[in-house]
Structures are given as C-alpha cells and as structure tokens.
Chain A
Amino acid sequence: MLLIKNGRVIDPSSKTDAGLDVFLDGEKIKEVAPAGKVAAPPGTEVFDATGLIVAPGFIDLHVHLREPGQESSETIETGTRAAARGGFTAVCCMPNTKPVNDNASVTRFILDRAKAGGSVRVWPIGAASVGSKGEAIAEIAGMKEAGIVAVSDDGKPIATAKLARQVMDYCRSLDLPVMEHSEDVSLAAGAVMREGVTSTRLGLRGMPAAAESVCVARDVQLAELSGARLHVAHLSAKASLEQVRWAKSRGLRVSCEVTPHHFTLIDEDVQYDSKFKMNPPLAARDDREALLAGLADGTVDAIATDHAPHEPALKDVEFDRAPFGILGLETALALALEQLVQSGRLSLMRMVELFTAGPARVLSMERKIATGQPGDLTIFSVNHSWTYHVKESPSKSRNSPFDGRAFKGGSVATVVAGRIVHKQ
C-alpha cells in the first residue's frame, strides 16, 4: 500500500489539475481524493509529493533495449532502469534486436526478461516482415498473442509500398498499429546528417527532408487505402507533419511521435561528434518550429525518445562510421519542460498528455489516475535544478548530446504497479 499525498495531480484524460492524494493498493489505484481525505490503513508507505506534479505513468512508444543480441550496448534491465530514472513507467521496445523480434518465441523471451529484471513495463513491438527484411510478413498474429502492441521494421521503412500495404491490411484485421520508420532509402543512402547549409559546410553527406516526407506521403496514402492504424515514428520534417495533418483532416487513423532531440536541436548544432548523429537526423530550423507548432496544436500525438544506446566501442569513431542513435530516456521529460513548457509554448497539461494519454491512444489504451486503474504514476518537479551526467546513467551506453546540460525540473519518483521503482 502506497499513499502519494499533497501532490498536484495533472491528468489530461479527465482534464484534472488539482491537489489530490492518490492511494494505491496492490498493483492498482484504490482511491483518489482531496488532500488529507484518504484514510490509509496503518503500515501504508507514504510519499510526500508536496510541490510536485503527480501524473499518470509516462509511456515511451519508441526505445531500443538491445536485448537479445547486443547486450554490450544495453539490456532490458539497464534500459528499463534508465526509463524509471527518466519517469517512464512503460516502454515499447523496437524489434531490431539480434535475432529480430519477428516471432512469438522472441517476444516471449523479451517479456520473460522484463518480468525477471525490468524496472518498468516492457511492451514489445514485433517486426512487420520476417527479419525486417521486407520480403515476407512476420508471424504477427503469433506475436500478438504473445504480447506485442504494434509492428514495425524500425531502423528502416517497410521495404516496398506493396508489402507496406499488405502489412497494413493484415494489421487492420488484427487491430494493431503499424509504426513506420518513414525513409526513402535511396534518397538517404550514404547520408549521415540532414542536407542543408551545415552539411555542405561540414562536408558531411546529407539526406534531404524529402527522404522522410516522400515515404510519409506513401504511408498515409496506404493507410487510407487499407484503413489501418498508421503511426509515423520519430517524425522530423515539416513536410512530413503536413502529410500527417492532411491525413488527420481526412479522418484517417494516422498518428505520429516526435523525439525530444528533434524539438530541441537542429542541424546547425551538429559537430564532428557522433553524439549528434541519429536517424532521422537533426532537422532544419523551420522544421523544428513546425514540430513545436504540431506539438502544441495536437497534430503530434506523442513524445517518444527513440532511445538508441550504442556502446562506446561502436559509437566513438569517425562521424561517417558511427551508427545512428542517441540515448533519450533520462532527458526526455526535462527537455520537454525546458523546450515546451518553460518556453511558454505548451501548457503543463498538454505536455503531460504527450507522455500519457497521447501515446496510450496510439496503442488503443487508456492512461488515467482513477480507481481501478493500474498503479503507474510519474512524479516530477518543474523547478528543481539538476545537471545530467551521462556517466551516472544506468544505461550501458554514453551516447548523449545532452551530457552536462543543466535543467530545471525533471523526474522525482516513478511508480509502477503500485511500487516505487525509482526515487531521486
């Protein structure tokens, strides 16, 4: 039994913003009542949330936990510890492991490992095609039975329009969202950053914004054709956002996510340092402006980290040779507070929605603080000063461009299934 008292509860699903106590019993929320009104039995653990925000548990739709197969970069244990530190109570792990999560036995392995050593909930995403090779459709029904929440060939798009259409048709019948890493691989071939003045100045090969947006255009039209639920992963370009806006205006079941690094940094920030290398790459200044507008106006459904650990031996090399991807779990909330809320662009309510109700809707779930709901809560502060030191991260990797950055506000405690899994 756990009582979170004196906190400010912000719950976008019911538009609640009030001083409430939350009482958890077992794995669920038992009671939500005005401060001091819960009659908790003796022996209840009490967490004093005075001055803190109590929100529904944050969901990250997009992480790479690297297990099985690349345990030197991350494991389910270390990745979920990083998630708990960052305030996430559930993470959706992409299937590009070794082997690829393209069948039920890999899905079950991931879930077993999560149960044994995971700090937060792990919701696997299955591959759309066998080995994510873009040839045959993976055993999606079997994986769904084992527990996947979506399919994706993340790291690359579903290889052909024809297969993407077939996967969407199939997933519509299975009621699973298709998460697309939208990229025209021919336009992006060999590129290591976004094409523009900075790539031209640095002499680094760039991919144009169109490398993403032409594939988003393909995918939203296939979503219309198939009627499937399409979720555009790590959307970075203004033109892509316009495609999603168009799809939403037509009533299509299309959603999208944006990463904290894309709403914080731009291509002009890139240096010859592989911690600035990710895919999609940091975009142009006006792309970032468009993303910020989309986060505010509802076009963007979720903030997702694309947490992509790579051990130093892989990442600490020449920019051209380094793999794409950066850490994200521990800095997402603080960057959202800094870039979205403290800048005055979004309300705290809207920001919380992008971490809770928004991603939950993508997965056709609910996320709210109410009696009978799962006991998952994210407790955070909007004003405590702290500095992110990547060397203190529980992640096995160190590839963050935000190492040493000072923040105001961030995660304070994370509650999963009625238990505090992280406390600052």
Chain B
Amino acid sequence: MSTKFRDLLALEPLTADELGFLLDQSKPFQEIQKHPLKKLATLRGKTVALAFFETSTRTRISFGAAASRLGADTMNLQAEASSLKKGETLLDTVFNLNAMKPDCLVMRHAASGAPNYVARHLDIPVVNAGDGTHEHPSQGLLDALTIRDRLGTIKNLNVTILGDILHSRVARSNIHLLGKFGCKFTLCGPAMWVPRELEKIAPGTPIRCVYRIEEALEGADVIMMLRVQTERLNDPPLSADDYILLYQLNAERLRRASPKAIVLHPGPINRGIEITPEVADGPQSCVLEQVTNGVAVRMAILYLLISGATETDTHPALQMKSKESANASD
C-alpha cells in the first residue's frame, strides 16, 4: 500500500487500511511525548497555518504544539482577529493566508463542509480541525489511539456515545473510524438529539439509537461522553436538571457497562452535568490520555501531509524512534 494523503478533511472516506496506517504512524510520536526533549527537526523550515474561524482552545494549542515539536513554524489566525467581520469572504481570507506561503492549512470552522470547500481551491494540504456538526478527524484518531492503548484493540467493540449526537462532529468521526473496525454503536440521549437517521449514516456499521441510559450502557466496552453545550440546552429548551436525571453518567450507571469499560470525553467537561466528578476522575476515565495522544496524532497528520510521506518512506528519525521503543518493550 502506498497511501498518500493530500488533505485530511474527514474520516468517512478513508479505508480501514488508511486509518490503521494513520494510527500506526502516530505510535512513534506517542513515544516522543514521553521524552524530556520533545522537539524534532523533521519539518524545520516548514510553516503550518492555523486558521480557527471558531473559538477553540485545546485543539488549537494541540495542533500548535504538534507543529512546534516537529520543528515547524506556525502562523495563527483567529476569527475575532480576522477581517471576516469586515466582510471578507472565507475564500479571500484563506487566499491571503496562502499568499504568505504556508505548507499546510489547519482550519476550524462553524460551517459544516467549509474545509472541503476551501480545499477545492487550495493546492496545499488542508486539515480539518473540526467543521460545524460534520467531522473532527484528529479527535476521532486520538480517541481510537487511546482506546487501542487501554483495551489493546479497536476491533469489534461495543461503543456507546452519550449526549447531543445530532450536533456532534466528534461522534461522526468516531463512528466512521471505529465502524470500519467492526465496532457496534449505541447512541443515547434525548430524542431531539438522537434522531433515527443516525442509524443509517454509516452503511455497514451497526448503529442503534436508544433513549434510556441504562439500556445504552449495558455491556459497553467504550463510553464516549459528549460535552453538553449550554447553548444546546437552550434550543430546544431543556432543563439541565432533566438532563442530569435521565442521562448523567454516574458511578452507579457505569456499573452496567463491561467491568473493563473505559470512559472518554473530548472536553471541556461540564462537571456535574453530563458526568459526575467521581467518574470523570475515576480509573476508567481516559480524559487526560486523550489530550496527550492528541498531540501525537496531530504530529503524525502534519508529518504525513507536509512531507508527503507514504508507508514505504517513513522518516528515518521516526523509524529509529520506532525501533528504540520496540526494543524497549522487548
């Protein structure tokens, strides 16, 4: 296989082989996170443009850290500092950024499909850092990496996602990735947020929508929480107390899941709303590992897209790192 990724816009169109390759490529970068000196020279002289047209803290910092640990420089555009409010179109803004000759554009945007639209007009790689309610590919990859580390596999698991699935790009990316490895999905939340159409968004992947959390957690290997966004609680009007009553993940409910089940949350967490502090901080929670893995996955993405590397020509420094870690575990 000579996989070559031009852009990373979504996980939906990628094959299991391609997704597995991305995850494998992240492995050496995971090791680097443990080193006291984390900076490589792999992308020295390259520039990554970070264009966040929607507020973000951790994803922006994570991509920034990933670029910098690869030795690349970054240029930052934030929505509030941009000229969008002066009436410039998205394309004009992006063309202006591109005229400063970055080697890759990482973008977040509130409109679903905005990265696809931009990528059609640019000849540098575009990485989707979250678009509207469509996808969040790097989050999907870092979640898979976290699951693989904890459970040893991402194959044939029972995955339960709780919350506002309809408006979640994280849920979609996870479904499209894990679904290709035989995972089965149970989606659960208030009916307005969990429409039946979701059962058909990934043909070939078993997805069921249920409306009782007890039923949803039964036998789950992986529980993915979604942040309940306060703005969503307002449209449609839904009381936070009602949500807690019906859908909050607490220790008692968690006992219905598989004993080895892990709990993921893309953050930021609303403690006491969708999840109790006890569960969020408990042994089954992987929240902080997810964040660490986020940097590794994003290093792999930037490395692959900017260097144009394929499976057959992985960077020598990385192969070395890879071997070292392999030796270490022997």
Contacts and interface: CB of A to CB of B under 8 A. Distances in A.
Given A203-B133, A313-B89, A317-B90, A272 B117 contact: yes
A202 B131 CA distance: 10
Interface in B117-143: 117, 131-135
Contact of A318 (B117, B133, B200): B117
Given A203-B113, A203-B134, 11 more contacts: A197-B200, A199-B197, A200-B195, A200-B198, A201-B201, A203-B172, A204-B112, A272-B117, A316-B89, A320-B110, A320-B112
Given A200-B166, A203-B135, A316-B89, A272 B197 contact: no
A309 B102 CA distance: 36
Given A272-B112, A272-B116, A319-B113, A203 B132 contact: yes
Contact of A203 (B89, B91, B169, B195): B169
A195 B12 CA distance: 20
A403 to B, nearest CB: 14
Interface in B85-108: 89-91
Given A203-B172, A316-B89, A319-B117, A197 B197 contact: yes
A338 to B, nearest CB: 27
Interface string A260-291: 00000000000111000000000000000000
A197 B110 CA distance: 20
Contacts of B198: 200
Given A200-B201, A203-B132, A203-B133, A321 B117 contact: no
A254 B115 CA distance: 45
A196 interface: yes
Interface residues of B, number: 26
A320 B132 contact: yes
A103 B89 CA distance: 35
30 contacts: A196-B197, A197-B201, A200-B195, A200-B197, A200-B198, A201-B172, A202-B112, A202-B134, A203-B112, A203-B113, A203-B132, A203-B133, A204-B112, A204-B132, A204-B134, A205-B133, A271-B116, A272-B114, A272-B116, A273-B117, A313-B89, A316-B91, A318-B111, A318-B114, A319-B112, A319-B113, A319-B117, A320-B110, A320-B111, A320-B112
Interface residues of A, number: 20
Contacts of B90: 317-318, 321
A220 to B, nearest CB: 29
Interface-centre pick from B89, B110, B172 (highest chain A CB count, 10 A): B89
A71 to B, nearest CB: 20
Interface in B153-193: 166, 169, 172
A-B pairs with lowest CB-CB distance, top 9: A272-B113, A203-B134, A203-B133, A318-B111, A203-B112, A320-B111, A200-B197, A201-B201, A272-B116
